[in-house]
Amino acid sequence: MRLVAPDGPAPSESALGRPRLYVLDGLRFVAALMVLGYHYLTLRDGWGDDPQAFSPELYHVAQFGWLGVEVFFLISGFVICMSAWGRTLGDFVKSRVSRLYPAYWVAVLLTASVLTLWPRVRSADSLETVLTNLTMLQQGVGVSDLDDVYWSLFIELKFYLLFALVVYKGVTYRRCVLFCGLWTVAGVVAYKADTSFLSVWAIAPYSPYFIAGIAFYLMHRFRPTMLLWAIVAVEFLLAQHYVKGRVVMNLGDKAATAHDWPARIGVLLAFLLMAAIALGLFDGVRWRWLSRAGSLTYPLYLLHMYIGFTLIALLRHRLPAPVLLMSIIALMLVLSYAVNRWVERSVGAWLRDGIDKGLQEMRRGSRAAPPRPGARRAGRQGVARTAEDEGKKSLACAEQVDRTEKESDRVGTLS
């Protein structure tokens, strides 16, 4: 049963008693494996030679694994809209910071340590680079990413900041649709507008996925409408427009001989799968192991790339390639579990508690201080004197008006 769209803020998803969408957890995990396969099977880093020689069949399957990032963005639009519904801006900030930063800090420090000890594939550059990367804002100040996968986190941060405007006013159906429309327009005009500011915030190649994700969530929460399907259709067509550029970005020189239709079909399948989730076709999936797999997704994404490349470079001449590859994937999964179990949960809870206390203190400090008792009595006396003075002025004014009227009568009589 779908809800009727409200004009004001509605209850959160949990308040409505809706079951967890386990299929989203599974889809996130599949997306992470897609990205991992793309990095380990199609890039030269670590292997030293063209990885196509490792397995031509796997190479052709994995060379479009970068589409996992697009899937992440689709899911993010859906999940962020869902999790922000009925929450305050402070709650939104608290949930995002405690979700993103604990695993990220560990990934930065661990990756920096590996690249410093074994700079076979890449070095950690400098301490300044490492420290700036800990903020997750390095792209904004022109510092290179310690690990290339961090680029997508800055895109996510910009989406969060933009959607925070909706959260500040209160998330409603109408405001979400307005947000989707305005962001779409910004992305369309960004290339023609002579302003880098608009281009930075429009995030045109990736915004269609976030926007479509929001529309899919509105379908899931309420019901599908022609308006929401129109939003999804426009974003799908815009996403297809940017596919060619993404192919060139990720395949490099080989993009000239590669077909882009697998990527286009991949985008289509991602949209169709999200549509099925929005329409409730997977609501019956209750496999709890999907939740566990989904919890590994974020640390796996953060840890796998240059730590894995370094291990491949160190061990490729000592172990058969298939054994080495499967061993590194298993190690990354174990590391991801450890980070989720002992870092994300504990440090995340500590961050949430600290941010919550800080917000409460800020709210208390922002309230107007009550007047002192003496000041209150003086204020009442001042008000009484003011009222007495005003009464005298009103009486004098009335007498003046009466004299003026009598004078006017006399003048009228003489005329």
DSSP state of 281: T
Place of tokens 């933009």: 162
Query: How far is Cα 80 from Cα 283, in angstroms, rounded to an integer?
Result: 19
Question: CA–CA distance from 359 to each of 90, 95, 167, 345 (Å)?
Answer: 7, 13, 16, 21
Query: How far is Cα 322 from Cα 354, in angstroms, rounded to an integer?
Result: 45
pTM of the model: 0.85
Q: Does residue 64 contact residue 262 with C-beta atoms inside 8 Å?
A: yes
DSSP state of 4: P
pLDDT value of residue 258: 80
DSSP 335-384: HHHHHIIIIIHHHHHHHHHHHHHHHHHHHHHHSPPPPPHHHHHHHHHHHH
pLDDT value of residue 254: 80
pLDDT in tens, the chain (415 residues): 444 444 444 454 544 556 789 999 999 999 999 999 999 999 888 888 777 767 788 888 899 999 999 999 999 999 999 999 999 999 999 999 999 999 999 999 999 999 999 999 999 989 999 999 999 999 999 999 999 999 999 999 999 999 999 999 999 999 999 999 999 999 999 888 878 889 999 999 999 999 999 999 999 999 999 999 999 999 999 999 999 999 999 988 787 778 899 999 999 999 999 999 999 999 999 999 999 999 999 999 999 999 999 999 999 999 998 999 999 999 999 999 999 999 999 999 999 999 999 999 999 998 876 666 655 555 555 544 544 555 555 445 445 444 444 444 433 333 3
